[in-house]
Amino acid sequence: MIKLVLILWYLFVGGLWLLFLAMVFGDAFGTNFKNVRKQAIIEGLIPTFFITILCLIIALIPNFIGAIIRWIVSLFH
């Protein structure tokens, strides 16, 4: 059950990540492929990097919490 919840959590955070990326790059891909605005893509790379790092940290928080709980239990075992 916990594995299922973790998988659903990863899918949720991944969906949010894709939504944020679509918001950042939405204006860059508004035209056809030959007229893609390269300047908008380059300007969107830095926020994309930070959004990706933030989403990875949020997605991995349950793993860190589980590791801390296991470490505390092992101290008293």
The confidence score (pLDDT) of residue 40 equals: 67
Which of 24, 47, 28 is closest to 38 using CA atoms?
A: 28
Model pLDDT, residue 28 = 61
This prediction's pTM: 0.67
CA 37 from chain centre, in angstroms, equals: 24
Q: Count of domains in the chain?
A: 1
- HSE-up of 36 (CA within 13 Å, CB side)? 8
> Can you read off the two tokens belonging to residue 16?
């949010």
pLDDT in tens, 18-64: 888 888 777 666 655 566 666 667 777 888 888 889 888 888 898 89
* The pLDDT of residue 74 is above 90: yes
pLDDT value, residue 47: 83
Do residues 58 and 20 lie in contact, with contact meaning Cβ atoms separated by under 8 Å?
no
Domain range for 20: 2-76
